[in-house]
Amino acid sequence: MKTCKEVAEMWKVTERTVTAFCKSGKIPGAVKNGKSWEIPDHAKKPADGRVSSGKYRKKPVPEEKKRLPIGISDYVRAQSEYYYVDKTLLIKEFLDQRPLVSLFTRPRRFGKTLNMDMLRVFFEISDEDTSIYFKDKAIWKCGEAYRLHQGKYPVIFLTFKDVKFSSWDATIDKIRSLLQAEFGRHQEILESERIAKYEKEYFARILDGSATEVDLTSALEKLSKMLAEHHGKPPVIIIDEYDTPIQEGYSKDFYDEIIGFMRNLFSGAFKDNKNLSYGFLTGILRIAQESIFSGLNNLTVNSVMDEEYGSYFGFTYPEVHEMLEYYEMTDKEQELKDWYNGYLFGSTEIYNPWSVINYISKGCIPQAYWVNTGKNEVLEDVLKAATDDITERLYALLQGGRVIARIDQNVVYRSLSEDPANVYSLLLVAGYLKTPNKELQADGTYLCEVSVPNREIAAVYKNEILSHLLQMGAISRTTANKIAESLYANDFRKLQQAITEYLDKSVSYYDSGAEGFYHGLTLGLMALMDNQYKIKSNRESGDGRYDICLIPRDEKYPGIIMELKSEAGLDEKGLESLSEEALNQIHDIRYDTEMHSDGVERILRIGIAFSGKKVKIKTE
């Protein structure tokens, strides 16, 4: 909310004029607080019947559009300076249910930090009147029962979203500095007559950075006690992205240290803590099996599978439609939907908020914005642990298919190596899959159909598959570049050479006749060429079923058909003969029928024969 003076400066009129607007009801949402008027941040200047320039304007001057809040997680700033999608009804839903401790698990960049900061501003006691940041929001219209909670609690707020270090020493140093900063927000404790001397001494150790690791494990418990004593009311504790350092610990080999520390830190904060009004945590995974929340029977978990709070993390269709109308881009609605919609939180269909605001702010250029917001460690781990069955299913998912999988919400990072079948649970909670259909089982798991949500996530998969192939030596950067360059230049011969190089390396990498070779080969081709080709496998065409077919999306590219054959114990002559047989089969069984019917004239036919580690590739 703004004052009359602030609005007068913005609209270039006098304060008296703004006051007159308010009195006459020309500014919707304006409210009188004592002797002063408070005006909504988004209020538009009403026509006052006068012409200040001396010229009559038939059309109003278009208003300057608000900027989109890319990377803004400060609620006060986001709702006042940027286009803000109102998520304050999250507060109402919480106050209606009132669980003591709530854990929200959602993928990264789905608005968790901004929502937690919104909760902080709403609940926290402050010297300023923070109700002005909510009076034009949906929560304020819900009635006095909800407004009574505004600004009435001390709040402890920590976000671990930036705790990403390669060692335990660096991680604990960062956590120490976060606790130091949070204690610094509550220095009234040092002057309080209600706080014992030994408690102030502990407080001072946190502030000056001399606290030991053991001291730090008690920080939330002791700060909540001191705040309750000073204010006469237990605090709200908010922990954002609690599992970010845990994920780093898993990938950087200090897993046991971070798990042990977090277990003690959270136990003091949330388990049998009488100095707690409410607790909120956010993260990607629940991590229940790690006993971080051991014995915490007052924890309510809200995951992507649950109906509650489904619409508060990410954007719903009405919110996206309204945003496109505001920025006059409704003609891009279908493209935006294809690329960034498709997530299901409970039964609510959700758009990726990070990608939506980047897409609009970049002039509606569709690309994988989400992939650039951080490492895709979960997907990296999946590719490293992929069995032949998982590789085959990844291929099916990338083709737009659905896979039946058992989803366990208690899956943890280390469970991937223990049971590769957990990949689908990890991919779902991390935002790489959606569940169009699910059925709850007696053991608390779900039997689900899973699929790729949208085109952006398909692009993320392909990018990570290519990175994995490059990293593991299945393909060289030179070969990948040669394929890209030949496609760009429409160089048929260079493309043929590049594919031959790729196949040669792939056969060695995938250990020849292993079942995973075929699907790994196809995944690699999708990562390299899917923008230019529709890639199909094992489909009927002519008088049989081809192995791999790449149908060009543009007529300037040639079609590509591959037939694979293998036989153990062949010498060079036998291998040559088998590759010739594979090539001839493409002609004899008329595998190119489908392509010809699609109008493709130039076709590259490739016969591939392998025996053990040996490969022979025959082309026309």
pLDDT at 511: 55
Burial class (CB in 10 A: 0-12, 13-18, 19+), 567: middle
Kindly report the CATH number assigned to the domain that includes residue 556. Answer: 3.40.1350
What is the per-residue pLDDT across 495-539, written as a single tens digit (0 to 9) for each?
888 888 887 777 666 654 454 576 777 778 888 888 888 888 766
- Among candidates 549, 522, 548, 541, which has minimal Cα distance to 588? 541
Question: Which among 10, 40, 64 is the end of a domain?
Answer: 64
Residue 445 has pLDDT above 70, yes or no: yes
- The pLDDT tens digits of the residues spanning 148-178 come to 999 999 999 999 999 999 999 999 999 999 9
318-334 burial: b if 16+ Cβ within 10 Å, else e? ebbeebbeebebeebee
DSSP structural state of residue 494? H
Rounded mean pLDDT of 418-426? 78
**Is there a single domain that holds both residue 528 and residue 508?**
yes
The domain of 535 spans 492-619
Q: Which residues contact 344 (CB under 8 A, 6 or more apart)?
A: 304, 350, 434, 435, 436
The verdict on 172 and 253 lying in the same domain is yes
Assigned domain for 32 exists: yes
- Domain boundary residue, one of 302, 329, 359: 302
Question: Which of 456, 481, 501 finishes a domain?
Answer: 456
Query: What does pLDDT average to over the chain?
Result: 86
pLDDT in tens, 245-268: 988 898 888 989 999 999 999 999
Same domain assignment for residues 60 and 189: no
* Residues 142 and 184 grouped into a single domain: yes
pLDDT in tens, 82-99: 999 999 999 999 999 999
* Whether residue 115 sits in one domain with residue 31: no
Burial class (CB in 10 A: 0-12, 13-18, 19+), 599: exposed
Residues 338 and 388 reside in one and the same domain: no
Q: What are the C-alpha distances in Å from 398 to residues 45, 290, 391, 393, 437?
A: 50, 32, 11, 9, 18
pLDDT value at residue 288: 55
Q: Which residues pair with 618 in a beta bridge?
A: 607
Q: What pLDDT, on the 0 to 100 scale, is given for residue 473? A: 72
Whether 280 maps to a domain, the answer reads yes
Among 313-317, 327-331, 375-379, 579-583, the minimum mean pLDDT is found in 375-379
Whether residues 39 and 101 fall in one domain:
no
Q: What is the pLDDT of residue 123?
A: 98
Chain mean position to CA 359:
15
How large is the average pLDDT for residues 26-53? 68
User: Closest Cα partner for 591 from 603, 575, 579, 578?
Assistant: 603
pLDDT-derived band at 295 (thresholds 50, 70, 90) equals low
Q: Residue 118: which of 353, 232, 280, 228 has the closest Cα?
A: 280
Percentage of the chain modeled with pLDDT above 70: 90
Pairing of strands 559-566, 603-611: parallel
Higher pLDDT, 24 or 239: 239
Whether residue 467 is contained in a domain is answered as: no
Is 258 inside a domain boundary? Answer: yes
| Position 490 confidence tier, pLDDT thresholds 50, 70, 90 | confident
Phi and psi angles of residue 238, each rounded to the nearest 5 degrees, phi first? -120, 120
Q: What is the pLDDT of residue 414?
A: 66
- Our count of domains for the chain comes to 5
**How far is CA 54 from its chain centroid?**
53
**pLDDT for res 57:** 38
Same domain, 98 and 34: no
The predicted pLDDT at position 174 comes to 97
**What pLDDT does residue 410 have?**
74
311: in domain = no
Q: How far apart are CA 371 and CA 19, in angstroms?
A: 49
Answer yes or no: is 107 within a domain. Answer: yes
For the record, the structure tokens of 314 come out as 């990410």
Helices then strands (H, E): number in the chain? 26, 20
Q: Which residue has the tokens 């990072």?
A: 413
Q: Does one domain contain both 385 and 366? A: no
Query: What is the CATH classification number for the domain harbouring 248?
Result: 3.40.50
Residue 79 and residue 59 share a domain: no
Same domain, 452 and 499: no
- 82: CB partners within 8 A, 6+ apart: 66, 67, 68, 69, 72
Instruction: Give pLDDT, residue 51.
Output: 37
In a domain, 274, yes or no: yes
Question: Which residues have a Cβ under 8 Å from the Cβ of 218 and sit 6 or more positions away?
Answer: 264, 268
Question: Residues 137, 247: one domain?
Answer: yes
Flag the least confident range among 1-10, 63-72, 78-87, 188-197.
1-10
Tens of pLDDT, residue by residue over 308-366, are 999 999 999 999 999 999 999 999 999 999 999 999 999 999 999 999 999 999 999 99
* CA pair distance 164, 452, nearest whole angstrom: 28
Three-class SS of residue 579?
helix
pLDDT score of 544: 76
pLDDT at 531 (0 to 100): 80
Residue 391 is assigned to a structural domain of this protein: yes
